[in-house]
Amino acid sequence: MLAISSCLVGKKCRYDGNDSFDAELVYQLQQAGTGYIDLCPEVLGGLSVPRIPCEIVGGAGREVFEGTAQILTADGEDFTDAYVAGALDALRICKEHKVTKVYLKSRSPSCGCGEIYDGSFSKRLREGNGVFAELLQQNGIEVVAT
């Protein structure tokens, strides 16, 4: 079983109220006959749509779990707890469905894999994973950034 970020299948759950529909990816999954579930860890964590944009400040997903980084708005409002709760709930769902691979939206503080925004709200990127991508990798689930 596979999982995919809800925004990639066309659900309007991004911070700005839009989606990031990836028609080619959805088509490939349908053609392969592979079953998949979609999920949005930010919505699972109780965040609204739309919501204030956030970035990881002080590190990446690993550092969030270590307690040395936070997920903040540009004004400094802390949403770390909601992001962590959503990532944990999304992982639980993945385990229930025996998911082995997850396609995630790149650069997100939740789903970014390999690179995320650097916490300066200036659209600069840094190496690292979002909290959900980090949690998946720590639990042996393959992550593919799109």
pTM of the predicted model as reported, rounded to 2 decimal places: 0.96
**pLDDT for the residue 33:** 87
Amino acid identity at 71: I
Q: Are 133 and 104 in contact (CB under 8 A)?
A: yes
DSSP string, 52-120: --EEEESS-HHHHHHTS-EEEETT--B-HHHHHHHHHHHHHHHHHTT--EEEE-TB-TTT--SEEE-SS
Distance CA 23, CA 34 (A): 15
Q: What is the pLDDT of residue 32?
A: 85
Per-residue model confidence (pLDDT) at position 45? 98
**pLDDT at position 5:** 98
Report, as an integer, the average pLDDT of 42-57. Answer: 98
Whether the per-residue pLDDT at 35 is higher than 90: the answer is no
Q: In this predicted model, what pLDDT tens digit does every residue of 115-127 receive, in sequence order? A: 999 999 999 999 9
pLDDT digits (tens, 9 = 90+) for 52-92: 999 999 999 999 999 999 999 999 999 999 999 999 999 99
Q: Which long-range contacts (CB under 8 A, 24 or more apart) does 22-29 make?
A: 22/146, 25/103, 25/146, 29/2, 29/4
Query: Which tens digit of pLDDT belongs to each residue from 13-34?
Result: 999 999 999 999 999 998 988 8
What SS3 class is residue 37? Answer: strand
Structure confidence at residue 118 (pLDDT): 97
- C-beta separation of 83 from 56 below 8 A: no
Q: Are 80 and 70 in contact (CB under 8 A)?
A: yes
The pLDDT tens digits of the residues spanning 96-112 come to 999 999 999 999 999 99
